[in-house]
Amino acid sequence: MENKRNDGRVILTREGYKKLEEELKYLKSVKRKEVAEKISHALSFGDLSENAEYEAAKNEQAFVEGRILTLEEKLQKAVVVGEEESNGERIHLGVKVVLEKLGSGNQVEYAIVDSVEADPSQRKISFESPLAQALLGKKQGEEVEIKVPAGLTRYRVVAIQKRED
């Protein structure tokens, strides 16, 4: 669910790339060993035909190995975006944006991030979200209209900033 281009590249922020690297390192150095120990322990019980612990450990091993392959592929195809790639005039993955909700005057700030980093409670929204999709490519002062369950909501782009975190 990352920003995949037609050529298969996965677009990530530096933070998102680092997060994937850390997860991969953990799975390879810690989790693989834990699962191998579970399998070894389950094998000590003998008969594998009715060994639920062995079956669970093998399933966990398959999941871990699948996740490792997925992470390796994403990292291999990753293109890291940085603030130096933009003059800050348009909204893109990796920036913070300040919006004013039209009609109420309330302002809200969001960071546009890849799905790996998305955390709405921290106001980090995935570039795949309806709001981010409507904002991508917009300039300061432009307005966007977002369809929400309650109807349409309109925002004006107040500022586009580089992320410091």
pLDDT at 3 over 50: no
Which residues does 107 contact at the CB level (< 8 Å), separation at least 6? 98, 99, 100, 101, 158
Across the range 5-18, mean pLDDT stands at 72
Q: Does residue 165 register a pLDDT over 90?
A: no
Confidence of residue 129 (pLDDT cuts 50, 70, 90): confident
Residues 6+ apart with CB under 8 A from 2: 10, 11, 12, 16, 74, 114, 115, 116
**Model confidence over 82-93: pLDDT tens digits?**
644 555 688 888
The reported pLDDT for the residue numbered 51 is: 80
The per-residue pLDDT for 36 is 93
Token pair recorded at residue 98:
């300040």
Q: Which domains does the chain have, with CATH numbers?
A: 3-81 (1.10.287.180), 85-162 (3.10.50.30)
Task: Inform me whether the pLDDT recorded for 139 exceeds 80.
Answer: yes
> Is the model's pTM score more than 0.75?
no
**What pLDDT is recorded for position 24?**
95
Q: Which residues contact 66 (CB under 8 A, 6 or more apart)?
A: none
What's the whole-number mean pLDDT along residues 130-142? 89
pLDDT band at 6 (very low <50, low <70, confident <90, very high): very low
Residue 63 is predicted with a pLDDT of: 96
pLDDT tens-place string over residues 18-74: 889 999 999 999 999 999 999 998 888 777 777 888 889 999 999 999 999 999 998
pLDDT digits (tens, 9 = 90+) for 97-127: 999 998 898 999 999 988 778 888 999 998 8
